[in-house]
């Protein structure tokens, strides 16, 4: 597939932050975007803005049955993804690890790690069966390669994504790729929940997204197993 060929991109966490910005940039470049998010209202807004062949659904990625049903509909109605981006994630409220409630810690595991595994189970078999390559890009973080106080649960999940992605890369057939991608530091609601107004010194999702879209679209088999950062 040439660099400028139209792609079918499946993107979780498409309703806010960097995911929402990527939707706009990918559509502008002529690609078909299939996205999900938990907000019914935000999904409705995306559906109104981008009609078929684009496809948006309200899905909790931590719920394996929801992800499976969503994938079945996408594969039947839209097709097999060329690029699968697992972006949906949560961060814990700033606190030492021993003060993070069990329920909050568990929810991060379910979304940040379980959500990726659910997406792989739901989409990757069809990508393999197609036999024409395909890329799985799992969003990591600078905190998946280093640590900071008060975000231990988030660091743990993103370190897990790094390892999960490398193992997945060893399992995929030749011609496919699994890549862990650190998007960089972006002024999102998630970052502001941790850094407050200090997040304003970094690029907005809208400013970040043009270069990021090109980065994701350029990923290929040669990147399999790599841990990369959006420049």
Q: Where are the alpha helices (DSSP H) in 50-179?
A: 64-77, 102-108, 115-130, 152-171
Buried-exposed string 6-22: b where 16+ CB fall within 10 A, e elsewhere:
ebbbbbbbbbbbbbbbb
Buried-exposed string 78-101: b where 16+ CB fall within 10 A, e elsewhere:
bbbbbbbbbbbbbbbeeeeeeebe
Q: Is 50 a catalytic residue?
A: no
Candidates 123, 154, 208, 216; catalytic one: 154
What is residue 141's three-state secondary structure?
coil
Q: Terminal CA-to-CA distance of the chain, rounded, Å?
A: 23
Q: Which residues on neighbouring strands pair with residue 179, listed in sequence order?
A: 137
Q: Which residues on neighbouring strands pair with residue 35, listed in sequence order?
A: 11, 56
Q: Catalytic positions, please?
A: 154
């Amino acid at each position: 597939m040439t660099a400028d060929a139209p792609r079918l991109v499946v993107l979780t966490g498409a309703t806010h932050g960097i995911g929402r910005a990527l939707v706009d940039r990918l559509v502008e470049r002529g690609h078909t975007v299939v996205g999900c998010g938990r907000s019914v209202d935000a999904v409705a807004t995306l559906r109104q803005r981008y009609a078929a062949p684009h496809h948006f659904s309200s899905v909790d990625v931590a719920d394996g049955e929801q992800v499976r049903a969503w994938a079945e509909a996408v594969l039947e109605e839209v097709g097999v993804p060329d690029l699968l981006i697992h972006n949906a994630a949560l961060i814990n409220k700033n606190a030492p690890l021993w003060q993070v409630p069990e329920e909050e810690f568990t929810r991060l595991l379910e979304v940040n790690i379980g959500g990726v595994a659910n997406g792989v189970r739901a989409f990757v078999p069809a990508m393999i069966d197609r036999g024409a390559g395909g890329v799985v890009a799992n969003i990591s973080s600078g905190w998946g390669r280093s640590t900071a106080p008060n975000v231990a649960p988030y660091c743990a999940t993103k370190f897990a994504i790094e390892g999960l992605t490398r193992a997945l890369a060893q399992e995929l057939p030749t011609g496919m790729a699994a890549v862990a991608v650190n998007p960089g530091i972006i002024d999102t609601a998630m970052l502001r929940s941790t850094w407050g107004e200090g997040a304003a010194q970094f690029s907005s999702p809208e400013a970040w997204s043009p270069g990021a879209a090109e980065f994701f679209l350029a990923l290929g088999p040669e990147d399999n197993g790599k841990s990369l950062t959006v420049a």
